[in-house]
Chains A and B, each alone.
Chain A
């Protein structure tokens, strides 16, 4: 860990306080501890926390912080699951939660300018009157910030049809690590230059801090139908997923839950899921009335050829909401199993879904761990969740070993490290499993253009460089109602 002396900390605090005011700079132990972790199982301690109110305060905070040679970490709502917002090397946390305004809506152009702290679902609510919404919908959408979505290139159930965050970001105003401000991308159709906007999205705070974002808004579909399909055999559920895609249908969402997931979810959310099924699929189709009805019929047909037990189509909006309530609260329900959980995020080819799922059960059994699976089956995005009790000695280490084996099994099947949670700290040291030294050196070169001194969220994504001894595994991620996937 970088050691900073009391005098150095005082000098930095004084400069920030003078520039931003005392209310914007937090140094007390409790607040530093709170901002030392996100929703992952990792934590560290920031030297202080800055809560800027606008872009100019972000720029000032970055300029002063890096002027002191000190790293900084941008933070939205702290819902990240890969440790991306954990402040290493005594970094200053710059939290954008106060910058949460919707600045401008262009209804004809279907775009909006927002500040990074605006919450994902708040944005959709605020543009709902125009018949528009922001399409990426991570399960944490009630609390996660748009800036965090940009940093992690977030997904969500509806990204199957609508694409992930990058496809919905037009421009980003960024404060670079030297404190200067640049605009990446633009709201016209073809801004000139390299697509630095695309590079910035998903860079997990290592290139700078977004202070304004232009987002694409999507028209609300006129008709939405949601189906619940349940199966006696997981293989039949997976075959239905592949069958739907092979039939040329692209549902708005295609989610799967295994038996253990259904049991805990139903006991918690009372969504009306059949608890004796081995697998449950939640399928949503949207669009125009005639096409939607046709798609619903064809999906039911595919399911029937794969021995579906029941096909339930939500009769009204209330029933539809109930079906989604189960899915979106799945991880709150996990609290019923054990006090802690560790959630994984990998993607595998759809054809390998059942094979990798079986391997996940095997891995969990071998380590004597409980695992449930609730995931974005349509795009092969697995979310195995291991529940455990961190108070039992050796348990946390066991969970992390199992996690690595799950990552390896996914890559073996032709998959990738992360579908939507990012690399952060959690998977940084796995990057070599997917990329060669040359690949990683190239990524690092690009990063160094923006941040030559490596002060913007240091030691994330790319392995190597300065080792950080100050990040520790925390006791675990407490399962509860505020848990998402």
Chain B
């Protein structure tokens, strides 16, 4: 009985981060300007790499944060499973996707990426390894620092290793198109994985048992297509799911989720109770050494 010791690779990463002076972290650099540019001259580190253990029977995987998502996907597919992190770019790392905290276009079906995270080991501003959460699929042991880290842009701690919840690879995964009103599709279809609406037509992703996918495609007269539409990357808005039907202009909206992709830059919404958010940052990183220049609070 006793605490699991941290593996040497994580200890080395903690030493690299150190306890003094500004330091940044880089993953695949796909969202490196999000929340502001890293203060010029800041040295950057990268998280350890590699899939540590995939246990298909537990539906969990322990993976180092610097691992490219594509590598993780390949590894899991061998065991018939997946983790729907769904980054926009093949360069994205597991830790990067989590630090950015944006879900992919299958959020309607699989939920937010934060709900895939079971355990996080990270390096805090004092250069210490901190473990939060637990390795099992269910756990309420202590404060949920994992969710605090997801979407924190590396400003509270640098993610070193995570345990993620896996899903079985679906028997089939098929895209369709439909001219039916997207809200009607959302309420009529049972557990669609994605509905992307451009104001005129919808792309629908159905996954699961082949019989179910066929049954629903027939019932709603869906036309098979090769894949998802081109999704604009410049801007990203966040609306109430029920407001998607009222959108104007050029966009691709995730129906039932409320994320709207635009081809023009958009400003993030202001943070509610910003002082409280800033107090969390100040308490966990009093000298502001972690990813200086990047800001989560708007």
B124 to chain A, nearest CB (A): 6
Decide: B139 and A416 in contact? CB cutoff 8 A: yes
1/0 contact string of B154-190 vs chain A (CB within 8 Å): 0010000000000111000000000000010011001
In the assembled complex, which residues on chain A have CB atoms less than 8 Å from the CB atom of B59?
245
Q: A291-B208, A291-B209, A438-B129 are in contact. Are A351 and B136 (CB under 8 A)?
A: no
Decide: A189 and B130 in contact? CB cutoff 8 A: no
Q: Which of B259-274 contact A (CB under 8 A)?
A: 259, 268-274
Decide: B239 and A189 in contact? CB cutoff 8 A: yes
Is B198 an interface position by the 8 A CB rule?
no
Decide: A191 and B272 in contact? CB cutoff 8 A: yes
Decide: B168 and A423 in contact? CB cutoff 8 A: no
Contact count band on A: 35 or more
Is A394 an interface position by the 8 A CB rule?
no
In the assembled complex, which residues on chain B have CB atoms less than 8 Å from the CB atom of A412?
1
Name the one of B135, B187, B280 contacting A416, with C-beta atoms under 8 angstroms.
B135
Q: A106-B242, A190-B238, A242-B57 are in contact. Are A166 and B144 (CB under 8 A)?
A: yes
Is A337 an interface position by the 8 A CB rule?
no
A110 to chain B, nearest CB (A): 7
In the assembled complex, which residues on chain A have CB atoms less than 8 Å from the CB atom of B141?
416-418, 423, 427, 431, 434-435
Distance A288 CA – B241 CA, assembled complex (angstroms): 24
B171 to chain A, nearest CB (A): 8
In the assembled complex, which residues on chain A have CB atoms less than 8 Å from the CB atom of B183?
108
Residue of A nearest to B259 (CB): A189
Q: Which of A179-196 contact B (CB under 8 A)?
A: 182-184, 186-196
Decide: A189 and B190 in contact? CB cutoff 8 A: no
Decide: B136 and A194 in contact? CB cutoff 8 A: no
Distance A195 CA – B55 CA, assembled complex (angstroms): 29
In the assembled complex, which residues on chain B have CB atoms less than 8 Å from the CB atom of A192?
268-271, 296-298
Q: A418-B139, A439-B132 are in contact. Are A183 and B272 (CB under 8 A)?
A: yes
Decide: A381 and B138 in contact? CB cutoff 8 A: yes
Distance A219 CA – B128 CA, assembled complex (angstroms): 44
Q: A109-B241, A291-B208 are in contact. Are A194 and B273 (CB under 8 A)?
A: no
Q: A348-B136, A423-B142, A438-B129 are in contact. Are A289 and B272 (CB under 8 A)?
A: no
Decide: B143 and A203 in contact? CB cutoff 8 A: yes
In the assembled complex, which residues on chain A have CB atoms less than 8 Å from the CB atom of B102?
190
Decide: B239 and A188 in contact? CB cutoff 8 A: yes
B101 to chain A, nearest CB (A): 7
Interface-facing stretch out of B38-46, B70-78, B210-218:
B210-218
Residue of A nearest to B153 (CB): A194
B82 to chain A, nearest CB (A): 11
Is A269 an interface position by the 8 A CB rule?
no
Decide: B145 and A446 in contact? CB cutoff 8 A: yes
Is B225 an interface position by the 8 A CB rule?
no
Residue of A nearest to B112 (CB): A167
Decide: B284 and A445 in contact? CB cutoff 8 A: yes
Distance A431 CA – B284 CA, assembled complex (angstroms): 21
Decide: A194 and B148 in contact? CB cutoff 8 A: yes
Distance A245 CA – B167 CA, assembled complex (angstroms): 10
Name the one of A195, A245, A416 contacting B136, with C-beta atoms under 8 angstroms.
A416
Among A163, A221, A416, residue most surrounded by chain B Cβ atoms (within 10 Å): A416
Residue of B nearest to A243 (CB): B57
Is B256 an interface position by the 8 A CB rule?
yes
Q: Which of A402-444 contact B (CB under 8 A)?
A: 408, 411-412, 414-423, 427, 431, 433-436, 438-440, 442-443
In the assembled complex, which residues on chain B have CB atoms less than 8 Å from the CB atom of A219?
187, 190-191
Would you list 5 pairs from A and B whose C-beta atoms are within 8 A, ordered by A residue?
Answer: A186-B272, A193-B296, A248-B80, A416-B138, A449-B280
Those 6 A-B pairs whose CB atoms lie nearest each other, nearest first: A198-B147, A248-B168, A290-B211, A189-B258, A291-B209, A416-B134
